[in-house]
Amino acid sequence: EDQVTQSPEALRLQEGESSSLNCSYTVSGLRGLFWYRQDPGKGPEFLFTLYSAGEEKEKERLKATLTKKESFLHITAPKPEDSATYLCAVQAGVGGSNYKLTFGKGTLLTVNP
Amino acid sequence: EPEVTQTPSHQVTQMGQEVILRCVPISNHLYFYWYRQILGQKVEFLVSFYNNEISEKSEIFDDQFSVERPDGSNFTLKIRSTKLEDSAMYFCASKERGWTDTQYFGPGTRLTVL
């Protein structure tokens, strides 16, 4: 069974204080690792897809990296508007029918001004 | 920018009643999904749908659940006889192509079963 574990569960930062969120995974045949942002009462909003170890993607203050066992979401000089829950999800399996996403519980990020 | 839409945003129903949650996926997408998120818990896969049939379903998706694409634009999730434990946010998602394409999520329908 695919497993995704995110840490920490919650993170409180001061504006401008950089940090990283972790997503470790155990899957059979990783096809893609996805990062989403979720605001309270809203649907997940796509941020990044990573396909292979060593890959990196950047968007504004966010940078996602991938190894064979985990992914990191680095947040550089965060602003209060970066406050949200960040979700990690994997798409895995062999064959052509397994397209589902398996999510972690998320990291609740709070950035104080 | 195209987006997935869902209606209603909030549905309140009595236990044992049938509910239909509606989704309009992004227009050129071929793969459709339903997920749910119980308050405070992780997002869970329910069902995937492609080429007018179910591709995969989870253990949660029992005989009380069904999905349908009644026309070229809508994608629905029906719960025949709701239970208290069905109370959750239900998210529809869609993607354009196969394996590694991104799934785009709708804003969700909050289902409250009394």
Q: What's the rounded Cα separation, in Å, for the pair A113 and B23?
A: 37
Predicted local distance difference test score (pLDDT) of residue A97? 52
Q: How far is B71 from chain A (nearest CA, A)?
A: 23
Say yes or no: A34 contacts chain B, CB-CB below 8 A.
Answer: yes
Contact B35 A104 (CB under 8 A): no
Is the pLDDT score of B99 beyond 80? no
Q: What's the rounded Cα separation, in Å, for the pair B41 and A102?
A: 13
Q: What's the rounded Cα separation, in Å, for the pair A109 and A48?
A: 17
- Mean pLDDT across A36-47: 96
Is the pLDDT score of B113 beyond 80? yes
User: What are B's interface residues with A at a Cβ cutoff of 8 A?
Assistant: 4, 6, 31, 33, 35, 41-45, 48, 50, 55-56, 58, 89, 91, 95, 98-100, 102-108, 110
Q: Which of B44, B48, B105 sits opposite A43 (nearest CB)?
A: B105
Predicted local distance difference test score (pLDDT) of residue B48? 93
Neighbour tally for A20: CB within 10 Å: 13
Q: B55 versus B6: which is more confidently predicted?
A: B6
Predicted local distance difference test score (pLDDT) of residue A30? 87
Predicted local distance difference test score (pLDDT) of residue B73? 87
Q: Residue B6: its chain A contacts at CB < 8 A?
A: 43
* Dihedral of the alpha carbons of B99, B102, B104, B110, in degrees to the nearest 10: 70
CA neighbours within 13 Å on the CB side: how many for A43?
22
Amino acid, single-letter form, for residue B75: F
Q: What's the rounded Cα separation, in Å, for the pair B47 and A37?
A: 22
Contact A43 B99 (CB under 8 A): no
Predicted local distance difference test score (pLDDT) of residue A95? 60
Residue of chain B whose alpha carbon sits nearest to that of A86: B42
Amino acid, single-letter form, for residue B1: E
Is the pLDDT score of B87 beyond 70? yes
Q: Residue A49: its chain B contacts at CB < 8 A?
A: 100, 102
- Mean pLDDT across B16-25: 97
Which residues is A56 bridged to in the sheet? A65
